[in-house]
A and B are shown apart, each in its own frame.
Chain A
Amino acid sequence: MKMHLTALLLACLSWPAQAMIESYRFDTPEQEANYRELIFELRCLVCQNQNLADSNAQLAQDLRQQVHHLLVEKQADKQQVVDYMVQRYGDFVLYNPPLKTHTALLWFAPLLFVALGVIWLLTLLRKQANPLDKETP
């Protein structure tokens, strides 16, 4: 019984990994590491909330193959693969949006909110410390 459970557990563990690896061969461990990083960073455009690693859509399979092809056959580095994808599908393909003028708000809004919060907190604290501050000019 325990043996069966262990086997079942192992099968569960190996399932997603198998679906993802697709038995690609790499010349160097570096290529393989790049491949793994890239398929987690690139978005599947069909099922938009999944990356290439998670998706089993036909396009995701094709793009994984393309990433592998670029890394191994064309000896591309990581940035070249990213550029290749952005050239075709735009920044949308990246899960990590680049800092540009039109994404500045996206990047700096959190800081802005923290700053606003700090200002609000300081005014509140100052008022509490001197409750009569407002009345005395």
Chain B
Amino acid sequence: MKKQWLPIAVFSLLVAFLAIGLTLNPKAVPSPLIGKPAPDFTLPLLNQQTAFSPQQLRGQVWLLNVWASWCSSCQQEHRLLVRFAQNRTLTMVGLNYKDTPNEAQAWLDALGNPYSFVVEDQNGQAGIDWGVYGVPETFVVDAAGIIRHKFTGPLTQQRLDNELLPLLNTLEMTQ
């Protein structure tokens, strides 16, 4: 009697593992940078002579949004970011990744500019340091300059409401 149940038990176990596997997102690569200091860079602001470095934002919670004019899912996310920036005072840095200043500026003129600063990373070096592999990506950095969360792919209203806003609220409270 016991023996008859063994194949069914093994099969069920296998099905359970495969079912769990189906719910996982294989594209989501956990960032090793979470809980670590934000990588430093010094890059020019878009169409300006001044340079920007994350060090300048020490003491406040801020977002780094990696975007490019050639990235179609950034466009999808951009509307949300513009609305978000209107409703909440928060420093949002746009890292313009592997783009040209003209195209980036045209994109912002057409779709609106939700960013406090737009930084040009033309050769993608800062992107590599931040472990960027698929734009758009959004990092949450706390007042001590530690990366607290990373969103890969476009932000949606759901991710904004369920993940980003609660995190920002707790970070700003402990600030």
Q: Are A88's CB and B33's CB within 8 A?
A: yes
From A58, A66, A87, A92, B29 is in contact (CB under 8 Å) with: A92
Contacts of A87 in B (CB 8 A): 32
Cβ of A75 within 8 Å of any chain B Cβ, yes or no, is no
Segment of B100-108, B127-135, B162-170 engaged in the interface with chain A: B127-135
Contact count band on B: 10 to 19
Contacts of A48 in B (CB 8 A): 26-27
Contacts of A88 in B (CB 8 A): 32-33, 128-131
Cβ of B156 within 8 Å of any chain A Cβ, yes or no, is no
How many interface residues does A have (CB within 8 Å)? 15
Cβ of B153 within 8 Å of any chain A Cβ, yes or no, is no
Contacts of A92 in B (CB 8 A): 29-30
| Interface 1/0 per residue, A40-53 and B, CB below 8 Å | 00000110100000
From A45, A66, A86, B133 is in contact (CB under 8 Å) with: A45
| Interface 1/0 per residue, A86-101 and B, CB below 8 Å | 1111111000000000
Complex: chain B residue closest to A84, CB-CB: B128
Given contacts A45-B29, A45-B133, A45-B134, 17 further A-B contacts (CB under 8 A): A48-B27, A59-B124, A62-B124, A62-B128, A63-B128, A66-B128, A86-B32, A88-B32, A88-B33, A88-B129, A88-B130, A89-B29, A89-B32, A90-B30, A90-B32, A90-B131, A92-B29
